[in-house]
Structure 1
Amino acid sequence: MNVSDQLSETAKQYPEKIAYVYQGKETSYAELDRAITQFASGLMSLGYQKGDHVALIVGNSPYYIVGLYGALRLGLVVIPINPLYTSTEMSYIIKNGDVKAIITMDNLLEKFKTINDQFSKVNHYIVCDSHSNQQPVSFLQENSKSFTAVLKLGSPHFTGPVLEEDSMAIILYTSGTTGTPKGAMLSHKNLYSNAKDTADYLQINEHDRVIAALPMFHVFCLTVSLNAPLMNGGTVLILPKFSPTEVFKISKQNEATIFAGVPTMYNYLLRGGKAKVDYFSSIRLCISGGASMPVSLLKAFEEAFHVKVSEGYGLSEASPVTCFNPLDRPRKPGSIGCSILNVENKVVDELGQEVPIGEIGELIVRGPNVMLGYYKMPEETAAALKDGWLYTGDMARMDDENYFYIVDRKKDMVLVGGYNVYPREVEEVLYAHPNVTEVAVIGVPDPQTGEAVHSFVVIDKPSLTEEDLIEYCQAHLVKYKVPTSIDFLEELPKNTTGKILRKNLRDKVRY
């Protein structure tokens, strides 16, 4: 089974049920499945066949869902790309990914004007109408087709090819904050198994209405907010982009039951929505991932909105979910929870041996969700996949009840005079300060200790000083973990999924 075929099965079971809501318009499962089939057939009419690569550069919209599932139904390999990327960033992925067709919005076409000549393999641009009165782009000439025209080319009676479960379905390029982006190859089995196991673990069913505010090009949204509800007859409430006001509005209007987001989103919702607590009254579950959620934020959000937040963990290479806090047992603040169904996690030392309970090591993962490898990168694949296990690069520990705790990224650890300092531990202390709203900690060179702890903070009290916060940390941390310097920023740099960009912060630091 694969996610596209499963959607067809769901459409047969719930033909009149609402599959998604977008800008107030409801679309049934029967209507969605018909559009997906026609789009797949239309792509075949243009000459595309099983195994060809197509880039999907579209924001949160029905275009994304139909484009994704339609391409998968034909057996194409989909490469989702962040629409906010620059021409240079897009160019690398399109060329490295051997893309033959680009599905994108008309208001993004200018980005391709200077780089189109580099794409010798691209046969078509399939252009989605943004309703923004865009002028025609002359450089495309004859290799441009509208999304609507491709739909009209297709037949609703089309039967796609047989898709082998181990064949490639998606290539997800890592954000590339450190070095060249790597394309994680995910199979049909990877996507299907992770969506099913996540849905079963979190009890996502046909009664759920899931807010899709995360970017659809990101694997967190793909699995938790799209694939999991759509394979079970749930309804996806599509937001073009995250906005606290719009999240509350769509939640109230549609009696949403699930919200999934990264910690930054929860921070914005908490700060801007205390007067709208009743707008979340129908929410049964909030899901957090993408980065570690500060315990102080988690507790404050739950107290304000009277809803449980289940923090989990995942990475693109694992499709992405490996852990979630369970719903049938106590949730542990600060923990990423336990292994989901059919997935194994363990913590190992430098030799790959499992460490004792409570000790810190690298988190490794095994299961049907683990990627095939990195596209055209055999050495990087060999470094990440060893004896069937995916080495995540995250440092973690496990307690005696099999709950895991992420300590930090292996590469982000700070070595102060021979002592390991994990940024998250320092960040948790600073987050607990009543006037600190955002924190990021990095290591900086130090002539005496090799490295020292440096912090970037966002505060809501202008009179707070560097000395005040250092003194605060001294009361809660051993000396070598205390920041030796602090920079105050109006906002921490983040990518489009809300993850803090530590590389950008390292470029800012004063040495």
Structure 2
Amino acid sequence: MFFDLGIRDFLDRAELVYPDRVAVVDEPDQPAASWGSLTYADVARLARAQAANLDALGVPVGGRVAIVSHNAARLLVSFFGVSAWGRILVPVNFRLAAAEVKYIVEHSGAEVLLIDPELRHLLDNVTAKHVFVLGEDDDKVFGGDGTPRDWAGDESATATINYTSGTTARPKGVQLTHRNIWLNAVLFGLHTTLSDNDVLLHTLPMFHCNGWGMPYAVTGLGGKHVVLRKIDGAEILRRIDEHGVTILCAAPAVVTAALDAASTWDGEIPGRDRVRIVVAGAPPPTRTIERVRAELGWEFIQLYGLTETSPLLTFNRMRHEWADLDPHEQARRLGRAGTPGLGVRIAIDADGEVLAQSNTNLEGYWENPEETARVQAGGWFHTGDGGTFTDGYLTIADRKKDVIISGGENVSSIEVEDALNSHPAIREVAVIGIPDQKWGELVTALVVTDGSDVTAEELITHCREHLAGYKCPKRVEFLDALPRTATGKIQKFKLREPFWKDQDRQVN
């Protein structure tokens, strides 16, 4: 027998097995009315209503629905209400500037735009055939008890399009299929030993590669979702204490926020010997891993992957073979990207680039066949990262593609350079990432001006008119000239060298 794998499987099982269990605790402090606590029966009812309302709007199977939202129960429900009945969800980074959101909505061809009330200013520049403000238009989005038209399901159909910044100025739309998402969620659950006793705190933005698949995995296993709208270290500790949180996923900046809050926390750190934290976005320093384990008492797990791989490629988790090693050596070993997930194949090509084969690799880039062919050449996904693969463990050594990872978010240096070059005082510019304890890598601009007295603050303000805040340089340095090759190419490795010379690897 053969049955198509589909996103709806996770919701159907939760409703069947755990209908009366609390599924979601919504963020209490938000501009839209909080949904409070929802059972899995509630979540399934709301998802069906959303699908039925899309039917009424005439949105066909394969139609795109874009959503720009902070973490919220409405966003969580939309992962199912849109895709489980055959449409394609386009989760958009809420930190993006209006021009960037406009590009994504238009490029994806989204017929419906759902937007967080805090982000309604984007509607001055962004529109679609049908626009709804979450919370204010709930009756039109989630209202009613309608039964949606049935969809037979197709595991090869695109379920979500997730836009990611890369080496070009324009973001690329990563097409993830129902099969990609289903297998990623199940494998994520397997490698993190998820169960129906788990409570997930959503510290990771759900738009970020569909929350790494946890909205699906936790739902399918009947766990509880606790929604956190905005990151605050002390609030993370309070929610862990209040809700009995057992697992969270986080970029390195979130780890730093929790550690900072723990230093002034009164009493025992919540979740000690109970919480496991899954970290990705960039490999944290060994000292940070040591502090998570010693000061917080949480289990540290590292994930390596990309939006294009759903994202699971490798996991690194404490092994009993390391039990007799000292904590520093254990942390050092945990700092590697990890071992391939079940069914994942890793290789290193002659140029040192990490290649991957997996059932979670993307279907393609939306409306971009040339780039799709490039990254899938030879039947392998080309990650753009440089590394080594020894004794079953992958270590990321440098980033071959020109991208900075700051706070867990990809920042295209080319995109930032384009923004800076539009300032009349700029003659040359190179943007690099430099090591930073809080953000992992700090977006840094090295500029040559026309001799005017333009300041760093002016250039950063100029960037904010064109880019999301997290993409803008946090540091600007003025140089007389940029080093170039004989053919005129900027030698970024020379610019990076002073900042990275004391680092073990060229990513942070």
The TM-score range, normalised by the shorter chain, is 0.7 to 0.9
Residue 383 (1) aligns with residue 374 (2): yes
Residue 504 (1) aligns with residue 504 (2): no
Residue 85 of structure 1: aligned partner: 96
Query: What are the residue-to-residue correspondences of 1:331-350 with 2, within 5 Å?
Result: 332-350=333-351
Residue 19 of structure 2: aligned partner: 15
Output the CA distance in 2 between the equivalents of 1:80 and 1:208. 25
Q: What percentage of aligned pairs have identical amino acids?
A: 24
Output the CA distance in 2 between the equivalents of 1:289 and 1:454. 17
Output the CA distance in 1 between the equivalents of 2:140 and 2:469. 40
Q: Could you tell me whether the CA contact under 8 Å between 2:10 and 2:216 is conserved in 1?
A: no
Deviations 1:60-87 (A, max 9, x none): 1111012221011221111111223221
Deviations 1:180-209 (A, max 9, x none): 111111101011100101101111111100
Q: Could you tell me whether the CA contact under 8 Å between 2:174 and 2:364 is conserved in 1?
A: yes
Residue 4 of structure 1: aligned partner: 8
Per the alignment, in what secondary structure is the counterpart of residue 37 of structure 2?
Answer: strand
Per the alignment, in what secondary structure is the counterpart of residue 278 of structure 1?
Answer: coil
Q: 1:200 aligns with which of 190, 195, 199?
A: 190
Per the alignment, in what secondary structure is the counterpart of residue 406 of structure 1?
Answer: strand
Residue 180 of structure 2: aligned partner: 190
Distance 1:348 1:509, change over 3 A: farther
Q: What residue identity is the alignment partner of 1:235? A: K
Structure 1 residue 12 displacement after superposition: 0.2
Query: Could you tell which deviates more after superposition, 215-224 or 263-272?
Result: 215-224
Q: Could you tell me whether the CA contact under 8 Å between 2:117 and 2:135 is conserved in 1?
A: yes
Deviations 1:285-304 (A, max 9, x none): 11110112111111122110
Query: Could you tell which deviates more after superposition, 99-108 or 261-270?
Result: 99-108
Deviations 1:334-380 (A, max 9, x none): 21111111222222213xxxxxxxxxx21111111000111111111
Residue 447 of structure 2: aligned partner: none
Q: Could you tell me whether the CA contact under 8 Å between 1:77 and 1:168 is conserved in 2?
A: yes
Query: Could you tell which deviates more after superposition, 404-413 or 306-315?
Result: 404-413
Per the alignment, in what secondary structure is the counterpart of residue 229 of structure 2?
Answer: coil
Q: What residue identity is the alignment partner of 1:236? A: H
Output the CA distance in 2 between the equivalents of 1:500 and 1:87. 12
Q: Could you tell me whether the CA contact under 8 Å between 2:62 and 2:87 is conserved in 1?
A: yes
Residue 230 of structure 2: aligned partner: 241
Residue 399 of structure 2: aligned partner: 409
Query: Could you tell which deviates more after superposition, 184-193 or 80-89?
Result: 80-89
Q: Could you tell me whether the CA contact under 8 Å between 1:3 and 1:231 is conserved in 2?
A: no
Residue 315 of structure 1: aligned partner: 306
User: What is the TM-score of this pair, normalised by structure 1?
Assistant: 0.74
Residue 468 of structure 1: aligned partner: none
Residue 49 of structure 2: aligned partner: 38
Residue 150 (1) aligns with residue 144 (2): no
Output the CA distance in 1 between the equivalents of 2:201 and 2:357. 29
Residue 250 (1) aligns with residue 239 (2): yes
Report the number of matched residues.
Answer: 412
Q: Greater relative contact order (Cα 8 A, min sep 6): structure 1 or 2?
A: 2
Residue 54 (1) aligns with residue 58 (2): no
Per the alignment, in what secondary structure is the counterpart of residue 182 of structure 2?
Answer: helix
Q: Could you tell me whether the CA contact under 8 Å between 2:23 and 2:43 is conserved in 1?
A: yes
Per the alignment, in what secondary structure is the counterpart of residue 341 of structure 1?
Answer: coil
Residue 419 of structure 2: aligned partner: none
Deviations 1:323-342 (A, max 9, x none): 11145554623211111112
Residue 219 of structure 2: aligned partner: 230
Q: What residue identity is the alignment partner of 2:24? A: Y
Displaced runs of 4 or more, over 4 A = 327-331, 453-459, 499-503, 505-509
Q: What residue identity is the alignment partner of 1:28? A: T
Per the alignment, in what secondary structure is the counterpart of residue 27 of structure 1?
Answer: strand
Residue 126 of structure 1: aligned partner: 132
Q: Could you tell me whether the CA contact under 8 Å between 1:344 and 1:366 is conserved in 2?
A: yes
Deviations 1:395-446 (A, max 9, x none): 111222x011111211359xxxxxxxxx99xxxxxxxxxxxxxxx9x9xxxx
Per the alignment, in what secondary structure is the counterpart of residue 387 of structure 1?
Answer: helix
Output the CA distance in 1 between the equivalents of 2:126 and 2:132. 17
Distance 1:387 1:160, change over 3 A: farther
Q: What residue identity is the alignment partner of 1:14? A: Y
Per the alignment, in what secondary structure is the counterpart of residue 103 of structure 2?
Answer: helix
Q: Could you tell me whether the CA contact under 8 Å between 1:103 and 1:128 is conserved in 2?
A: yes
Q: What residue identity is the alignment partner of 2:180? A: N
Per the alignment, in what secondary structure is the counterpart of residue 171 of structure 1?
Answer: strand
Q: Could you tell me whether the CA contact under 8 Å between 1:343 and 1:367 is conserved in 2?
A: yes
Deviations 1:68-118 (A, max 9, x none): 2101122111111122322101111111111111011234233222344xx
Structure 1 residue 147 displacement after superposition: 2.4
Per the alignment, in what secondary structure is the counterpart of residue 142 of structure 2?
Answer: helix
Q: Could you tell me whether the CA contact under 8 Å between 2:200 and 2:246 is conserved in 1?
A: yes
Supply the RMSD in Å over aligned alpha carbons: 3.2
Q: What residue identity is the alignment partner of 1:7? A: L
Output the CA distance in 1 between the equivalents of 2:68 and 2:26. 18
Q: 1:73 aligns with which of 81, 84, 87?
A: 84
Distance 1:507 1:182, change over 3 A: farther
Residue 286 (1) aligns with residue 277 (2): yes
Q: What residue identity is the alignment partner of 1:213? A: T
Structure 1 residue 504 displacement after superposition: 3.3
Residue 161 (1) aligns with residue 151 (2): yes
Residue 358 of structure 1: aligned partner: none
Distance 1:180 1:229, change over 3 A: same
Per the alignment, in what secondary structure is the counterpart of residue 108 of structure 1?
Answer: helix
